[in-house]
């Protein structure tokens, strides 16, 4: 079993053994990974799912948390979606890098209702694992190179522990330099 140095006060179990702590699309996608044993999950208080509250409550470093945002843009009447995964200490460059990658005039965070309906995941728990197959998953290089990260599980009552290399190997994943900007 993997030892997660970023788990703080949490007990991390193999995700494959606790699929009840994962949204259905997340559990299905994890089962298809080359090494599902590289992924852990820990139960948390759903009220503490937001990154800052989670890190403070469970003594997990903010620098090891990654946030997934769903971005939407339109081109010729077609709505294009993507997911962006950046470290919690940064912000996704929605109106620069992501807008260009989606080839749209304007990109913005997808409306909450759309993000929840299209992903089958809870708002505040959306994760890049198990997203619709036709969505690009844009991953900042710092995320891809991180040895261990905390991300959403598709629900608010747990967190996934995963190496950045596993995220970078997801179907549809693209590692992008400069996807994130440091928060000033």
How does residue 35 score in pLDDT terms, banded at 50, 70 and 90?
A: confident
Confidence (pTM): 0.94
Residue spans of the domains in the chain: they are 13-182
CA end-to-end span of the chain, whole Å? 38
What pLDDT score was predicted for residue 13?
Answer: 96
Q: Quick one: CA torsion of 174, 71, 55, 44, rounded to 10 degrees? A: -100
Query: Tokens 């903010």 correspond to what residue?
Result: 62
Q: Which residues contact 63 (CB under 8 A, 6 or more apart)?
A: 87, 88, 89
What pLDDT score was predicted for residue 1?
Answer: 57
Question: Pairing between strand 66-75 and 107-109?
Answer: antiparallel
Query: In 22-140, which ranges are continuous DSSP H helix?
Result: 24-31, 51-58, 99-102, 112-119
Q: How far apart are CA 155 and CA 130, in angstroms?
A: 12
Find the mean pLDDT for residues 116-124: 95
Q: Which residues contact 9 (CB under 8 A, 6 or more apart)?
A: 58, 59
Please report, for residues 49, 64, 125, 162, the alpha-carbon distance to residue 60 in angstroms, rounded to integers and kept in the order given.
12, 8, 17, 14
For residue 45, is it left (φ>0), alpha (ψ between -120 and 50) or beta?
beta
Q: What CATH number does the domain located at 13-182 have? A: 3.90.960.10
What pLDDT score was predicted for residue 142?
Answer: 97
Find the mean pLDDT for residues 140-147: 97
How does residue 90 score in pLDDT terms, banded at 50, 70 and 90?
A: very high
**CB count in 10 Å sphere of residue 116:** 17
Percent of the chain beyond pLDDT 70? 99
- Answer yes or no: are the C-beta atoms of 88 and 65 closer than 8 Å: yes
């Amino acid at each position: 079993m993997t030892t997660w140095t970023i788990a703080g006060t949490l007990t991390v179990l193999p995700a494959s053994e606790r699929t009840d702590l994962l949204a259905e699309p997340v559990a299905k996608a994890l089962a298809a990974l080359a090494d599902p044993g590289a992924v852990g999950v820990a139960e948390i208080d759903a009220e503490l799912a937001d990154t800052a509250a989670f890190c403070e409550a469970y003594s997990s470093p903010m620098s090891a948390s990654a946030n997934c945002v769903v971005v939407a843009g339109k081109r010729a009447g077609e709505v294009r979606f993507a997911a962006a995964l950046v470290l919690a200490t940064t912000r996704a460059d929605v109106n620069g890098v992501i807008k260009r990658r989606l080839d749209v005039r304007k990109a913005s965070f997808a409306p909450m209702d759309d993000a929840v309906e299209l992903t089958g995941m809870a708002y505040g728990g959306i994760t890049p694992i198990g997203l619709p197959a036709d969505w690009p998953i844009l991953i900042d290089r710092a995320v891809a190179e991180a040895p261990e990260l905390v991300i959403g599980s598709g629900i608010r009552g747990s967190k996934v522990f995963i190496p950045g290399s596993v995220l970078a190997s997801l179907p549809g994943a693209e590692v992008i330099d400069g996807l994130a900007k440091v928060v000033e």
